[in-house]
Amino acid sequence: MRYLNDGHIRQMGTDWRRLTAVIREAAALYGTEEAVQPLKPYLRFRDPANRLIAMPAYVGSGVDACGVKWVASYPGNLARGLPRAHSVIALNDPSTGEPVAIYSGGLLNALRTAAVSGTMLEAYLKRREEAELPSRFSAGIAGFGPIGRTHLAMLAGLFGSRLEEASVFDPRGASAADIDDGIRSRARIASDWRVAYAEADVFITCTTAAQRYIDRPPRPGMLLLNVSLRDYKPHCVKDLKAVVVDDWREVCRENTDIEQLQQLYGWNEARTVTLKEALLEDGLNRWPAGETVFFNPMGLAVFDIAVAAYYWRTALREGIGVEL
């Protein structure tokens, strides 16, 4: 069994085009017998703000891996100087059940999350290009912890000069030192989320907000990558038409913005398209190209397992990691 940690992942590097291809491959299998993923359970005790989540999945075809991600989210850790999230991923051989890899650390989770956002942004820009709308964009990011920083790296690595500028806000404070040299000339620190929101074509929420705070409707044509899922007050997004989810059963629960909209305004699965449809079936063509797109990804275990399998095979090929 191969042991991998964040240092090993960094040693192998980040190829955003390859990672988004892995996500698209897993998305294509989702909903078929080649991708099996039960509804993920949440374990809560003592403080209800904390949660531990088990995310098992099998992904067949070219991925050919099964396993489970076990992730703990403790928002109070930030005040203690500790990471909010801790995770472990175990991979098994789908033919024998033999454990083949164990990964400890948070980087794979951040890479998977940003790669999913990258695929959605690619689909959004493709739709705009088809309608002869501008495909260069400015981005705003609310929350600049590991997930927010990885999203900024993804924007720079995947979209290059199409990213005109990025505005970053973090309620705990962010500095230019947190921004990689390669993107620093196009990025700036915003004094308030409203500044980043008002100027963005693509707005990404990556916070651990205990209460919803976004109380302004988005401008027409924006892409809202609602990664942290609990940032928008329902009244300001209730009239949006173009809504994308990774899986309605997963995302319409646990006090997400989608669940709030379902409870307060009767939103249902029929008014959404899935990420798979958006990526592979021109699902965004259901709406005019200038419509604001509201993407809510709860996080699919099939993506975690596919990305983990990609790095495990890379590690075997390059002799990286520790054989246990």
Q: Does domain 2-109+301-323 sit in CATH 3.40.50.1100?
A: no
Q: Residue 55 above 90 pLDDT?
A: yes
What is the distance between the alpha carbons of residues 104 and 254, in angstroms, rounded to a whole number?
26
> What letters, b where the CB count within 10 A reaches 16 and e where it falls short, cover 278-309?
bbeeebbebbebebbbbbbbbbbbbbbbbbbb
CATH number of 113-296: 3.40.50.720
pLDDT band at 96, cuts 50/70/90? Answer: very high
Q: Residue 253 above 90 pLDDT?
A: yes
Q: Residue 1 above 90 pLDDT?
A: yes
What is the distance between the alpha carbons of residues 70 and 49, in angstroms, rounded to a whole number?
17
Contacts 24+ apart (CB under 8 A), 183-188: 183/152, 183/153, 183/155, 183/156, 186/156, 187/152
Mean pLDDT lowest among 176-180, 194-198, 220-224, 279-283: 176-180
Mean pLDDT lowest among 44-58, 91-105, 124-138, 171-185: 171-185
pLDDT attached to residue 172: 87
What is the distance between the alpha carbons of residues 301 and 218, in angstroms, rounded to a whole number?
30
The answer to whether 165 touches 187, Cβ cutoff 8 Å, is: yes
- Show the tokens assigned to 192: 């308030």
Task: Enumerate the domain spans of the chain.
Answer: 2-109+301-323, 113-296
The answer to whether 111 touches 150, Cβ cutoff 8 Å, is: yes
Q: Residue 294 above 90 pLDDT?
A: yes
Which of the two residues, 84 and 1, has the higher pLDDT score? 1
Which residue intervals of the chain are DSSP H helices?
A: 6-12, 16-29, 107-130, 146-159, 181-184, 193-199, 248-251, 257-265, 275-280, 301-318
Average pLDDT over residues 187-196: 95
Encoded amino acid at 321, one letter: G
Q: What is the DSSP string of 109-136?
A: HHHHHHHHHHHHHHHHHHHHHHTT----
pLDDT band at 79, cuts 50/70/90? Answer: confident
pLDDT attached to residue 78: 86
What is the distance between the alpha carbons of residues 98 and 119, in angstroms, rounded to a whole number?
32
Average pLDDT over residues 32-58: 96
- Show the tokens assigned to 58: 């099998």
pLDDT attached to residue 56: 98
The answer to whether 92 touches 83, Cβ cutoff 8 Å, is: no
Question: Residue 139 forms beta bridges with which residues?
Answer: 166, 202
Q: What is the pLDDT of residues 202-225, one digit of tens each?
A: 999 999 898 999 999 999 999 999
